[in-house]
A and B are shown apart, each in its own frame.
Chain A
Amino acid sequence: DQQVKQNSPSLSVQEGRISILNCDYTNSMFDYFLWYKKYPAEGPTFLISISSIKDKNEDGRFTVFLNKSAKHLSLHIVPSQPGDSAVYFCAASGTSGTYKYIFGTGTRLKVLA
């Protein structure tokens, strides 16, 4: 039973446009969420996170939005660049600082030049 779901396995976007990656979760006890980016033959790297006390967190071109009532979060990348092409994983944990993350299955983003 997937507690963290990324329903879109892949997404293609033109360079310069906005990329929106979505993630849904089922466990209302989750209160800390992260996005990781993974290039081929490399391990995932941390991108951005958000605590449930916020509904938005921004870091440069990357913004994560959290809708607690819908148990939904999204990652916006503006503007998208070819170097953003990677697999993006959404992750959730029970409390900030808890060791255990639950990851989704990932969304493969392809940014077309």
Chain B
Amino acid sequence: DAGVIQSPRHEVTEMGQEVTLRCKPISGHNSLFWYRQTMMRGLELLIYFNNNVPIDDSGMPEDRFSAKMPNASFSTLKIQPSEPRDSAVYFCASRRTSIDGDEQFFGPGTRLTVL
């Protein structure tokens, strides 16, 4: 299994530009999570989906952030317009609902720099 795939791995953009981060969860997993990692706040949950439906988006910092999951194998996190304070590493994780375990599997992350 390829694991959770994220693209791009690095993104450098200018303030005001639109940024789209992409995630492909592990096949068969029915929950997907978007996190942001910063030095000050660690790993913050932004939003999660269950069976492609957004369940909790209370962690989305502002209306500039939006996330979609059009099907079970793809999700996007969009920032429009981007600001320098959005610079962070963004992780996608997926999980299969089962009695075998509760762990989430993380992708390698996208390092976003907004100049």
Q: Which residues of A contact B (CB under 8 A)?
A: 2, 6, 32, 34, 36, 41-46, 49, 89, 91, 93, 96-106
Contact = CB atoms under 8 A, between A and B. Distances in A.
Contact of A102 (B45, B55, B95, B107): B45
B31 A41 contact: no
Shortest beta-carbon contacts, A-B, top 8: A43-B106, A105-B42, A103-B43, A46-B103, A44-B106, A43-B108, A43-B107, A103-B42
Contacts, number: 60
Interface of B: 4, 31, 33, 35, 39-45, 48, 50, 55-56, 91, 93, 95, 97, 101-109
A97 B106 contact: no
Contacts of A105: 39-42
B43 A89 contact: yes
B91 A44 contact: yes
Given A43-B91, A43-B93, A46-B103, A99 B44 contact: no
Nearest to A51: B102
B106 A45 contact: yes
20 contacts: A6-B42, A43-B93, A43-B106, A43-B107, A43-B108, A44-B106, A46-B104, A46-B105, A49-B101, A49-B102, A89-B42, A89-B43, A93-B102, A99-B50, A99-B55, A99-B56, A101-B45, A101-B104, A105-B42, A106-B43
Contacts of B107: 43
B50 to A, nearest CB: 6
Contacts of A49: 101-103
A91 B95 CA distance: 15
Contacts of A43: 4, 91, 93, 106-109
Contacts of A45: 106
A99 B48 contact: yes
Contacts of B97: 97
A100 B45 contact: yes
Contacts of A93: 102
A97 B97 CA distance: 8
A43 B39 CA distance: 15
